[in-house]
Amino acid sequence: MISIVNIVPRAGTLTRSPAPHRVVALAYEGLCTFEFGIVVEMFGLPRPELRQWYQFSVCGIDKRPVRAIGGITIVPTHGLSELQRADTIIIPGWPKPIAPPPPQLVRALIKAHERGARLVSLCVGSFVLAATGLLKGRRATTHWSFVDAMASAFPLVRIEPDVLYLDEGDILTSAGSAAGIDLCLHIIRKDFGAIVANAVARRAVIPPH
């Protein structure tokens, strides 16, 4: 049994940075509440037992309250300008995968990626990444029921439908909603090492992988 008290991150990629790693989640009208909840649980939950952790915030496309699925209203604390301060940007699903995302969102994601931000999508949030053109020639995955739609809309994306998630270094995508949990744990493992990732999994009462 692994204790989660005073865990020091080891063998991760973030231990060399004195500043907290900024994770920004995108909120949008028709927000997928399960995927958004995964992101908050994995990256936004306070973890006083850890000496290092992420700095988490939520941004909206225009910083207005958004109505999520289930009648929940979320008030983003930031607008798209927050993406330019992010180290990791997460898109938790998308309400209409086939519809083009707002141009200002596409431009902001491209600019953030050019600056060095890591881009992550859960479920059909991969359609937003594909719309930026950043997935051309890269491997990506999405929900199995939208594989054909993505292949038709973005033929230059190398879609792999039979995986839980794919890590292309600076761009990561997950398949269905719950596969986002596996991807988020994978990111934590990359950043802070297996001991911390296992502790996060234990606190959430989920398998480490």
- How far is Cα 74 from Cα 67, in angstroms, rounded to an integer? 6
CA–CA dist 194, 201 (Å, integer): 10
Nearest residue to 42 via CA among 207, 194, 187, 192: 187
Choice between 150 and 11, residue whose per-residue pLDDT is larger? 150
Range 45-74 average pLDDT = 94
Nearest C-alpha neighbor of 54 from the set 68, 34, 37, 39 = 39
Over residues 87-98, the pLDDT tens digits come to 999 999 999 998
Q: What residues are paired with 89 via a beta bridge?
A: 24, 119
DSSP 92-158: E--S-TTSPPPHHHHHHHHHHHHHT-EEEEEGGGHHHHHHTTTTTTSEE---GGGHHHHHHH-TTSE
pLDDT number for residue 12: 52
Q: Average model confidence (pLDDT) for the chain?
A: 91
- Alpha carbons within 13 angstroms on the beta-carbon side of residue 28 total 20
* pLDDT-derived band at 62, boundaries 50, 70, 90: confident
pLDDT for the residue 18: 60
